[in-house]
Structure 1
Amino acid sequence: MAVSMADIQNLRKRTGAGMMDCKNALTESNGDFDKAIEIIRKKGQAFAAKRGDREASEGCVLAGSNNDFAALVALKCETDFVAINAEFVGLTTTILNAALANKPASLDALNEVEVDGRKIADLVTDRMGVTGEKMEIGAYETLSAPSVVFYIHPGNKLATIVGFNKAGVDTQVGKDVAMQIAAMNPVALTAEEVSEEIKARELNLAKEKALEAGKPANLIDKIAEGALTKFYKEFTLLQQEFIKNPKQNIEQYLQSVDKELTVVAFKRFSLNAE
């Protein structure tokens, strides 16, 4: 049967599929829109099954906030060509907005959130049928605090969210800290929050270096502890040198604004090799 351009455009609007895919689906379904949509969705499911073992290392990372709640979402795909596509970025934005509105507690819960009657997991699968690439939500992070700030690095490959202990944090101060996290990649907020695994790793590395350098055996432990203290200054947020003013660490910078102001939580995700 003949398929009109208006029908093709209508189906494309409803599914996000390409013009030719929409035309073929409408032709196969004899103009039945519901059947055409199902044909397109089954195509996406087929691609999902076929490409399940492929690596999705590219993608789009976005973050946002809703009052005292912030979320970060990474939608991953196989190639940068797809990652920068406006419709792919649009799907990532849709997922982020759904997360901000519904505040799901986990990635599994996020996949179950519905947008216009379709689960987010199904929207991602549908999009796979359009692009022919593996796609998956590679990260979903959230936090709640009296003030929350987010930062998306240009290119949509890296984003951060940060929470403060007081409401009404100055916009520039919030942005400074969010960008600090993006640039310096701290492993924890304070030394006390660094995992025992990381502490043991850094101590062992320091001991090995000291032994290789021929340091006296009775000084190895002390040298390793000194190296761990240096590690805390470089990789815990509040002790890090402020990139805009190295004479201050982040804790001192915040206290120069408000003596009681501090960070209570942060999350960071990057698609870039670091």
Structure 2
Amino acid sequence: MAISAADVMKLRKATGAGMMDCKNALTEAEGDFTRAVEIIRERGKLVANKRSDREASEGAALAKVSADGKFGAIVVLNCETDFVAKNEGFVTLTQSFLDVAVDNKPADLDALKALTLDGRTLADHVTEQTGVIGEKIDLSYFGCIDAASVVAYIHPGNQLATLVGFNQENVDSQVAKDVAMQVAAMNPVAVDKDFVSQEVIEKELEIAKEKFRQEGKPEAMLDKIAQGSLAKFFKENTLLNQPFVKDNKLSVKEYLESASKGLTATGFIRFALAE
């Protein structure tokens, strides 16, 4: 039977599949639009199964804050190649998943995948797009922050995204952005030293003691000297104690206090696709 261009375009709009894939699906379905959609989706599952063992290390990392400024989310959608990662359609798909996350505030990644977009779960969308694009696609990460105010930052190229929460509402937008960019650039391990895990502390102490041991420092002094190294580690690697990148005479804590009395960061998330 003859398949019209209008039918092909309608199927393409509904599935995102290529023109020839849509025409072939409609031909196989003998013009039955619903069946043609099912064929496209079944092919997506087949491709997804075939490519399940492939590495999907490229992708897009995007961040967004809710309209009231109190909730922010980061979503990461992976693919196999840089070519696909930079494709406008792929970035738009990632953004649509992020919009669902911000609107629904899921508890975790599995809960996000179970949410629906245009009547289908995000997990189903991922499978379908695997078939459409021909690469392994994976919705691999979801992180979120609730705070009095939250700021999001996406580094150009969509490979790095950050969120920072603050203890005050209506934080000056430039101040908030400065701190989000600080997180992106300096990659702190925690907000403050009290939030650094004991595991990390013990590891840093052991590294310091071994370093000074190799330098010939007396064994009895190693613990005390290592504490000094730990203090330096906290200064360089915790957000509030780091030198502010725009003015290293100030710590981030001092910068925030100068912007608004009592202002501080309460938490952050940083996700980088390739580091």
TM range (shorter): over 0.9
Secondary structure at the aligned position of 2:153 is classed as strand
Partner secondary structure for residue 189 of structure 2: coil
1:101-250 to structure 2, matched below 5 A, reads 101-250=103-252
CA distance in 2, matches of 1:133, 1:251: 44
Q: Give the distance between the partners of 1:49 and 1:209, measured in 2 at CA.
A: 49
Mapped to 2, the partners of 1:102 and 1:163 lie a distance apart of 19
SS at structure 1 position matched to 2:211: helix
User: In 2, distance between residues paired with 1:23 and 1:223?
Assistant: 72
Tell me the distance in 1 between the aligned counterparts of 2:103 and 2:252. 31
Gaps of 5+ in 1: none
Aligned mates of 1:242, 1:209 — CA distance in 2: 28
Matched residue type, 1:200: E
RMSD of aligned Cα (Å): 0.9
Give the alignment partner of residue 270 of structure 1, picking from 253, 269, 272. Answer: 272
Alignment of 1:35-74 (within 5 A): 35-66=35-66, 67=68, 68-74=70-76
**Could you report, residue by residue, the CA deviation over 1:50-100 in whole angstroms, capped at 9, with x for unpaired residues?**
111211110001010112110110001111111111111111010000111
Q: What is the aligned residue count?
A: 273
Structure 1 position 121, deviation (Å): 0.6
1:2 positional shift: 2.1
Aligned to 2:3: 3
SS of the counterpart of 2:223? helix
Report the counterpart of residue 262 of structure 2 in structure 1: 260
The alignment partner of 1:214 has SS state of coil
User: Corresponding residue for 1:33?
Assistant: 33
> Identity across aligned pairs (percent)?
56
Give me the TM-score of the superposition, normalised by structure 2. 0.97
Partner residue of 2:77? 75
After TM superposition, the score normalised by the length of structure 1 is 0.98
1:135 & 1:214 partners in 2: Cα distance?
53
Whichever residue aligns with residue 128 of structure 2, its letter is D
Shift of 1:162: 0.8
Deviations 1:188-211 (A, max 9, x none): 011010011111111111111111
Q: Distance in 2 between matches of 1:64 and 1:129?
A: 28
Off by >4 Å, runs of 4+ in structure 1: none
- Listed as ranges, the gaps of 5+ residues in structure 2 are none
Aligned letter for 2:85? A
Q: Distance in 2 between matches of 1:193 and 1:163?
A: 15
Q: Which residue identity is paired with 1:48?
A: A
Deviation at 1:233?
Answer: 0.7
C-alpha deviation, 1:265, in angstroms: 1.1
After superposition, the C-alpha distances for 1:96-122 in whole angstroms (9 at most, x for unaligned) are 001111111110110011111010010
Deviation of residue 272 (structure 1)?
Answer: 1.5
